[in-house]
Amino acid sequence: MPPGSSFWIYMAAMLELTIPKESLADPMIPVVYQVERVRRETHDTFTLDLNPSNGTGMHSFAPGQFNMLYVFGVGEVPISISSDARECPALQHTTRMVGAVTKAMGALKQGDFIGVRGPFGSHWPVQEETNCDYLIITGGIGLAPLRPALYHLMNHRDKYRKIVLLYGARAPEDILFRRELERWRGKFDLEIQVTVDRGANGWRGNVGVVTSLIGRAPFDPSNSVALICGPEVMMRFAVMELQRRGVPPQNTYLSMERNMKCALGFCGHCQYGPMFMCKDGPVFRFDRIAKIFGQAEL
């Protein structure tokens, strides 16, 4: 039965009506949201704009946190929130269509329902770490979990020094939030450098891996916070390059990814050494995971 079918719309409405309000605070029970818009970002990524179906959704979230999104009748997956926290309870989630759930999610239409549990997990230190440079290194879909942090930094611009975004994509057509990046670049108080792994005819920008941009990025290593999100191999090389430039491990933060199920640290699916990705992560300060980061069996 397709997720947008009348059966699931009916079930979602029943969920709203039959569950007492106080039990909606149970983190295992999803709040029903309605799809406002499905925005295609690239050939395999999309952004879901969601609004709480009865007007009362989550009150707030911190940049870097994630929600469990439940496509009725298909399954539930963890997706980072990609919107500005000031717009909460309206939410955006940006993801790539890779499995059954995210493919079903990408097929949702305006007006369809989806279950949302959250927000879960740790967050980027943008509220705590001020009066310093921010170096944001990201690749591919990794820009999505960092977007709320960028919004926060720009909404409180006077609290920070330089803000540098280094973003790598596979090819020019895979650049996420392209218009937004162009708009941000036009603000002149944010340095944005984009590179692609594979150039194409007409591409006049950088070609090469994102880590190669770190060496020339304008920031003060002794007074910087680095936020990194992307494929784990990319993050390993980014950390190496940051260390080479003198950014201390305690000022380096990474967003990790593992298979999460309950999102509450009960089920153990996302165990990462002595920690749980869902509860202690997904954002980790590097010095706290340095000993286990990059280990093949974890």
Partner 1 sequence: MIHSLESIIRNHEFFHGLEEKYIVFIAGCARNVRFEENQYIFHEGDPAERFYFIREGLVSIELMIPHKGASTLHTVRDGEVLGWSWLAPPYRWHFDARTLRSTHALDFDGECLRRKCEEDHHLGYEVLKRFANVVSERLDAARLQLLDLYGGHA
Residues in binding contact with partner 1, number by CB under 8 A: 31
How deeply is 36 buried, as exposed, middle or buried, from its count of CB atoms within 10 A (0-12, 13-18, 19+)?
A: middle
Q: Which is nearer to partner 1, 106 or 265 (CB)?
A: 106
Task: Provide, rounded to whole angstroms, the least separation between the CB of residue 212 and partner 1.
Answer: 5
Pick 55 or 202: Cβ nearer partner 1:
202
Residue 205 as a binder of partner 1 (CB under 8 A): the answer is: yes
96 binds partner 1 (CB under 8 A): yes
Nearest residue to 166 via CA among 186, 187, 150: 150
| 44: contact with partner 1 by CB under 8 A | yes
Rounded to a whole number, what is the distance in angstroms from the first to the last CA of the chain? 37
CB of 29 to partner 1, least distance (A): 32
- AA identity, residue 5: S
Options 2, 106, 231, 265; binder of partner 1; rule CB under 8 A: 231
Q: Is 64 left (phi over 0), alpha (psi -120 to 50) or beta?
A: left
139 lines the binding site for partner 1 (CB under 8 A): yes
Contact, 121 vs 279, CB < 8 A?
A: yes
Burial tier of 110 (Cβ tally within 10 Å: 0-12, 13-18, 19+): exposed
Give me the 153-172 binding string for partner 1, x by CB under 8 A, dash otherwise.
---------------xxx--
- Asked whether position 137 contacts partner 1 by CB under 8 A, the answer is no
Instruction: Please identify, using beta-carbon distances, which residue of 159 and 185 lies nearer to partner 1.
Output: 185
Q: Which stretch binds partner 1 (CB under 8 A): 7-15, 74-82, 203-211, 250-258?
A: 203-211
Q: Say how many residues make up the chain.
A: 298
Which lies closer to partner 1 via its Cβ, residue 78 or residue 168?
A: 168
Q: Which residue, among 297, 295, 272, has the nearest Cα to 284 in the 3D structure?
A: 272
Among 158, 201, 296, 297, binds partner 1 (CB under 8 A): 201
**Which of residues 27 and 208 has its CB atom nearest to partner 1 in the complex?**
208
Q: Which of 13, 38, 88, 209 binds partner 1 (CB under 8 A)?
A: 209
Contacts of 232-238 with CB under 8 Å at 24 or more apart are 232/256, 232/257, 232/294, 234/139, 234/142, 234/168, 234/209, 234/210, 236/293, 236/294, 237/209, 237/211, 238/137, 238/210, 238/211, 238/214
Nearest alpha carbon to residue 90 among 60, 126, 121, 122 = 60
**Nearer CB in complex with partner 1: 86/198:** 198
Q: Are 147 and 41 in contact (CB under 8 A)?
A: no
Tokens of 198: 């594979």
207 is a contact residue toward partner 1 (CB under 8 A): yes
Nearer to partner 1, 211 or 255 (CB): 211
Rounded-to-integer distance, Cα 289 and Cα 116, Å: 29
Site string for partner 1, 239-278 (x = CB under 8 A): ----------------------------------------
Q: Where does this chain bind partner 1 (CB under 8 A)?
A: 44, 96, 98, 139-141, 168-170, 174, 195, 197-199, 201, 203-209, 211-212, 215-216, 230-231, 233-234, 237
